[in-house]
Structure 1
Amino acid sequence: MYQFVALLLWPILLVQALWVKRNTLRLPEAEGERSGKGGYGMPLNLLILGDSAAAGVGVDTQDKALSGCLSKCLAQYYSLNWALVARSGATTVSTLNHLRSGHGIKVMQSNEFDLVLVSLGVNDVLSPISVNRWLLAQRALIDTLYQYSPNAHIVLTPVPPLGVFPAFPSLLGWFLGQRAAAFNDKLRQLASGDTRCCLLDLQLPVNDEAMARDGFHPSSASYQLWGEAAASHYISATKGSANQY
């Protein structure tokens, strides 16, 4: 249904998209280390993989970003060895190509990861890729991760509700919200039919406190909630009991 409306209103959507691209505040990726060790207990190798949100856009340093929040939570229970592979603008296909490149292969060969948290989909929704082609790319990404870490617990992050993001005008927001919902439907189908991965139950709030200054990326408070949710999910999945932070 939303595709038909988009065909009718594509000139307006195009104008709004160009306006957003020209006027949205562009924030840098968070500064700081992209790998580290800490904690005590059973060893755990963690890979955080993805886009600008995974890279910490919206906060100043990695300790306030997803990598810092998640690693601090997990380090309470594990001897943690973590790595972050993320960049602004990354799509599922570009991330897959990176993992298959020389540098990506080096990262994947450096450790057999126990937990992989994936943050991809927003830039795919913003691109012309079809939802079915995106699903194929997601499956290929999971296959590649398992090639190097066959025992990994892969956690997929749902696409956020772009339709209510402050950065988008109402019509464009509606279209992107519908498209994001369609992508999430496919992601749920993938996770329910593939025992190698699961979909994180994550619904971050969308308000001034939860959003960065650009009206698009998470704030430090949202990164904290995201990290807590991912850590709690992993601990529950591997130990059979939920943990609170």
Structure 2
Amino acid sequence: MDTIFFDLDGTLTDPKPGITGSLQYALEQLGRPVPAQDELAWCIGPPLRDSLVVLLGGEVDADRGVALYRERFGDVGLYENSLYPDIAATLAALKPRARLFVATSKAHVFADRIVDHFGLRPHFDHVFGAELDGTRANKGDLLAFALERTGTDPSRAIMIGDRSHDIVGARRNGIDGIGVLYGYGSREELTEAGAVHLCATPLAIAEHLSAGLN
């Protein structure tokens, strides 16, 4: 059976208000300059701590920044989020023909709550995410773990995501990556990362994959 791994942020849901608002909160608490939310959109997708290291100009205060981010995100930012149009219909079309999993750099304790909040649990066999200490925040490490846990042949799997990290992590594990253009990565970013196909809408994912699924 074919296996499909879905990224969460920027692929299944649009998390911009919650992520950028929580980053603003962390930066404000640290007494650092606070960019506008639009200027923080590039932080959606990569591992949180990596983005904070860039924002803070180094490792100093990065761990404290993660803690402050989660202070707001765990109570408020988690739900400042919305499903992209037609996600439920796309998953419903694919579910009878493939095993579906979430594979996100977000800590799984948050990812699980988001999946449940939007009623997506019935579509997925499991949600794979990072540990709170940053273990498996790298998408390549996460997918290696997921492949082992699910007994998946990489040649029979697809990774779907909106950022280069999704595609690069997939390729590292011998998985083809499909990029989505409605999230936060550009066409150029996804193409240069090695995406085998690009989809402009969620429904286009199901349409593209339908021919290759058993």
Would the TM-score normalized by the shorter structure come out above 0.5?
no
Q: Which has the larger radius of gyration?
A: 1
Higher-RCO chain (CA-CA 8 Å, sequence separation at least 6)? 2
Query: TM-score under structure 1 normalisation?
Result: 0.36
Query: TM-score under structure 2 normalisation?
Result: 0.40
